[in-house]
Amino acid sequence: MKIIVCIKQVPDTTDVKINPETNTLIREGVVSITNPYDMYAIEAALQIKALAGGDSTVTALSMGPPQAEAILRDAISMGVDSGILLSDRAFAGADTWATSYALSKAIEHIGDVDLIVFGKQAADGDTAQVGPGVATHLDLPQITYVRKLGEITSETITAERMLEDGNETIKSQLPCVMTVVKEIGEPRLPSLRGKMAAKKAEITVWKAEDIGCEPDKCGLNGSPTKVVKIFTPAARGTGEIFTGEPHEAVNALVEKLIPVIVGASN
């Protein structure tokens, strides 16, 4: 079984910077990490590889600046077999549609893929759209929010997905796309052998033309959605704590609220 796990490098949440001209995140030179949900995707891909057995392989695929090579090496240290990086200025500023288009073209270029695994969403965008977007571009079935793996054969995969009001078990034909949640299993730690392999691994780098991307469908120019304005919310003011007996605290709160309510109604 040939498995692709798509991962993303995201800015550390304590060090987010915005380009004021393009309204996009500045990624170059910023402290970055592997998207947390993608760590669970790596774990799921490795679990599936073990269940499928045989000559199954897992390839990590990412799109980003050259520094994103670091997360591919991290994935290899966990047990992933190889890494591919899509890195080209043509990809810069891509929204979820343009991102899923580029990833789908790379997957087509790889060829004969049985399963594509994503984390449910990215920490910097929180859209949960790229996995389903790739499934749409490739015209493949998808199982989203997977929390537990079931039977895996050469032709089908069964998985339990998480819903707001329960769980649902789905059986899908392969190839298919899957997005996973953290309940799939705690990501494994890198082994010493894995770290050594990651250090020596040769990361394949592809540009837009290498995978046959159409220029007008890539990056900022190929993105149907545009960010008009992005900013950091103003800090909230300090709160007030009411102490004493419950009835005293309630009375004090009411006295504070009455002028506000009266003012709003005038």
Q: Could you tell me where the DSSP H helices lie in the chain?
A: 36-52, 69-78, 96-110, 130-138, 192-200, 246-265
- For 93-130, the pLDDT digits (tens) are 899 999 999 999 999 999 999 999 999 999 888 899 99
Asked whether residue 217 carries a pLDDT value surpassing 90, the answer given is yes
Calpha distance 213→71 (Å, rounded): 24
Q: What is the mean pLDDT of the chain?
A: 91
Q: Is 24 helix (H, G, I), strand (E, B) or coil?
A: strand
DSSP label of 44: H
Six-digit token string for 13 = 């949440």
pLDDT band at 264 (very low <50, low <70, confident <90, very high): low
* Share above pLDDT 90 across residues of the chain, in percent, rounded to a whole number: 73
Kindly report, residue by residue over 27-64, the tens digit of the pLDDT: 666 678 999 999 999 999 999 999 998 899 999 999 99
Pairing of strands 115-119, 2-6: parallel
> What is the rounded (10 degree) CA torsion for 204, 137, 80, 128?
120
The radius of gyration of the chain's CA atoms, rounded to the nearest angstrom, is 23
- 29, with CB counted inside 10 A (0-12, 13-18, 19+), is exposed
Residue indicated by tokens 């909230």? 236
Quick: pLDDT tens for 128-159.
999 999 999 999 999 999 999 999 999 999 99
Q: In sequence order, which residues have a C-beta less than 8 Å from that of residue 152 and are 6 or more positions away? A: 1, 48, 51, 52, 158
Q: CA-to-CA distance for 103 and 201, rounded, in angstroms?
A: 21
Q: Quote the CATH superfamily of domain 2-217.
A: HUPs (3.40.50.620)
pLDDT, one tens digit per residue, over 195-210 is 999 999 999 999 999 9
Q: How confident is the model at residue 184 (pLDDT cuts 50, 70, 90)?
A: very high
Predicted confidence band of residue 13 (pLDDT cuts 50, 70, 90): low
Contact (Cβ atoms closer than 8 angstroms) between residue 7 and residue 35: yes
The domain limits of the chain are 2-217
